[in-house]
Amino acid sequence: MFNEALAACLASPLLSADCPANPVTSSEALNSSDRLSWQASIEDELASLWDMNIYKLIPHSSVPPGWKILHGKWVFRLKQDEHGNPICFKSRLIAHSFEQIFGQDYVETTSPTLCMESLWLILHLAAVNGWDVQQIDIKTTYCYDELPANETVYMEQPKGFAETSKEDWVWQLQQGLYGMKQSGCIWNKTMNKTLLSWGFKCLSADSCVYYCKTDAGIIIICIYVDNFIIAGSSSELCEAFKTQIHGIWNISDLGDASFCVSLDISHSRHDHTISLFQTALIDHIITTFGLTEAHPISTPMDSNLYLCHPPSN
């Protein structure tokens, strides 16, 4: 029974350090005990999409015959710190990518992802050299560049949040939106073009790691979608980079790197050490399997047993 549960858990893309009680629908969120927080979060997301010119409203009759109009859904995430304490109510409107049609509303989808080995290596270098390690989060990451001219996307207005007197109108998306097949590709191209124009070089072994070496020192950036881990030979370099990036994108400055991709990061420049923990993720797994009351026991195998391959014939 446990093996079956373990297999199902490992196969699930939802296994993370997120709060397991995240609302599944907007109705659930707006009828929960945290409804005021979720309501404010939804309104903030819609305001951001409008301010960034993500879409324009057009009459339904303006959509070409036979063109697919996507539906959307809300995804809610209660962000937690490394100890599992709630720190942010995040609402995100995503498009139903499974409704998209190749060649009509999307073409290219390729987007790289940071290798965890790269992150470990950069953190190791920072510890050895006594570098500063900072972290920022790019807000509404997938919404910073226009859709290609050959990709026209239409989408229904969010249910319950349609514009008054234009409830039957639809969105014509001008820029990328979460959930769309091409969104990650668009963001990666935008981010790559920006960093290269600033003098950064992309690491050949990992296209999500960038570095820049000048007379002032060296700075290395590890990028995991919208999370930037910044390792710099001086605090001034890190702060200068954050100021530069804030000039074009809306960011959350998280200060010293402490929690990223389910990793709790403890950094001491004075002692030249960096420690990594996964307390929140482990606690989540334990809770998922109902093992919060379990207690450790000694292994039945001899701890001094030495195993080796049998001699070859």
Question: Residue 81's beta-bridge partner residues?
Answer: none
Measured torsion, CA atoms of residues 83, 89, 93, 94, in degrees rounded to the nearest 10: 10
Whether pLDDT at 9 is above 60: no
Radius of gyration of the chain (CA): 23
pLDDT digits (tens, 9 = 90+) for 170-193: 999 999 888 899 989 999 999 999
Confidence of residue 288 (pLDDT cuts 50, 70, 90): confident
What pLDDT is stored for residue 86 in this prediction?
A: 66
Write down the pLDDT at residue 7: 44
Domain map (residue ranges) of the chain = 2-288
* Distance from C-alpha of 140 to C-alpha of 175, rounded to nearest angstrom: 11
Alpha-carbon distance of 117 to 119, in angstroms, equals 5
Output DSSP code: residue 191.
Answer: H
Using one digit for the tens of pLDDT, what is the confidence trace for 59-71? 999 999 989 999 9
The token pair at 103 is 């060649």
Torsion angle (degrees, nearest 10) of CA 137, 143, 145, 151: 140
